[in-house]
Amino acid sequence: MYRLIHLFRTSIGRKLMMALTGLILLLFIVGHLAGNMTIFVGAPILNSYAHWLQHSVMLWPFRIVMLLVVGLHIVMGIELARENRHSASNGSRFPSWFTRHILNHHMLWSGLAVLLFILFHVAHLTLGVGADASFYQLDSNQMMDVYLRVVEGFLNPWISLSYVVLLLLVGLHLLQVVRGLFQTLGFYHENYQQLLDRLAWGVSGGITAGFLSIPVAVWVGAV
Ligand code: HEM
């Protein structure tokens, strides 16, 4: 235990913890995206999926673990950002101007945007802050009509705009998380640098596009 605590006091320990918590959050996001994609299959499927989640005995243990993971990711991130403040632009193994000047310096800000997004998103879709009675409407199978919540939410231009802006920032943060993962796990080699860089763009871009497809589908009337 003492060795574990000592490890997190070292820079490499913090980086490992950052990568591990980043990986867990990435897996959560991919799982959540897959669940959300059921919206394209139809309301009964999305509502059944949400019903199953809300009634799972694992819901609260899962929430508590995720809160701990997010908390650790934030604390380690702030520590590392402080450490890297002076060396960020020199230490990066990514060559582009965009990476050195935008990503490294704005990692903390995009991370805060993710936190803001989650608070806004949970207030909107889980807690129904400011919502009217339709938020609690049941569907024909007597399950919460989560499909209706999502569609009604994205028909509001202010809610939609906030989602689009925040989701783009979430995507930017994901890009850096995936790159950080590759670096910490030691995947980087001069020969593969460009390939891994493209992979990181592909993963984060794909996830972001997947989430953005939902408000867009609501605007064009596809769901
Ligand atoms: C257009 C994009 C998204 C849609 C339509 C969406 C949809 C939903 C819905 C319907 C719920 C409520 C589930 C329920 O209470 O039954 C939910 C909860 C949640 N979503 Fe999303 N989501 C989106 C993007 C994201 C992203 C990008 C993240 C993470 C960065 C995220 C994190 C969460 C979290 C943490 C919860 C709360 C889970 C809980 O109640 O324990 N969502 N989402």
pTM of the predicted structure, to 2 decimals: 0.89
Residue 137, SS3 per DSSP = coil
In this structure, which residue's CA is closest to atom 26 in ligand 1?
A: 29
99 DSSP assignment: I
Distance 16 CA to ligand 1 centre (A): 27
Q: Tell me: the pLDDT tens digits for 145-181?
A: 999 999 999 999 999 999 999 999 999 999 988 988 8
How many whole angstroms separate alpha carbon 167 and alpha carbon 101?
A: 21
pLDDT tens figures, 15-63: 888 889 999 999 999 999 999 999 999 999 999 999 999 999 999 999 9
Predicted confidence at residue 7, as pLDDT, reads 73
Shortest-distance Cα residue to atom 11 of ligand 1: 125
User: Could you give all domains of the chain from N- to C-terminal order, each with its CATH number?
Assistant: 9-219 (1.20.1300)
> What confidence tens digit (pLDDT) does each residue in 6-20 have?
777 787 888 888 889
- Quick one: which atom of ligand 1 is closest to the CA of 215? 1
Nearest Cα to Cα of residue 76 among 128, 7, 165? 7
Q: Is the CB of 150 under 6 A from ligand 1?
A: yes
- Cα distance between residue 183 and residue 160, in whole Å: 34
